[in-house]
Structure 1
């Protein structure tokens, strides 16, 4: 992964507040936290399945949030809405 450009270093929550496009509620250790601003990206790709010669669409979602905004968050244990 490439490092973040120098102008964005240490921006953390300010970056998400400026460029965020969604609000998310994180549940950490069973406790719902207040909503925070996040950056949500959706990529859609259409490809031709070789075996059936049929178009297949894939969707990828990426959610970015500053770690300092949601202390204690762990990827496989917690949830987001």
Structure 2
């Protein structure tokens, strides 16, 4: 995911590119490790993003996603 493009795929002044990663647990437990990484174009862009209050929301999708994954694993 990125904010480097606007509607119509027009280039924009970007803050970051976000990667959502789903990987097998290295301990081979059958579980999946989820991580999100958001590298920014510059330190200043990262600081602006934090100042805007986005940092707290970056991990917000993790808890609901975990709940859905547990329901799917349980066959619900």
TM-score bracket for the superposition, by shorter chain length: 0.3 to 0.5
Structure with the higher fraction of residues in strand conformation: 1
The structure that has the greater radius of gyration is 1
Q: TM-score, length-normalised on structure 2? A: 0.36
**Structure of higher RCO (CA pairs closer than 8 Å, 6+ residues apart):** 1
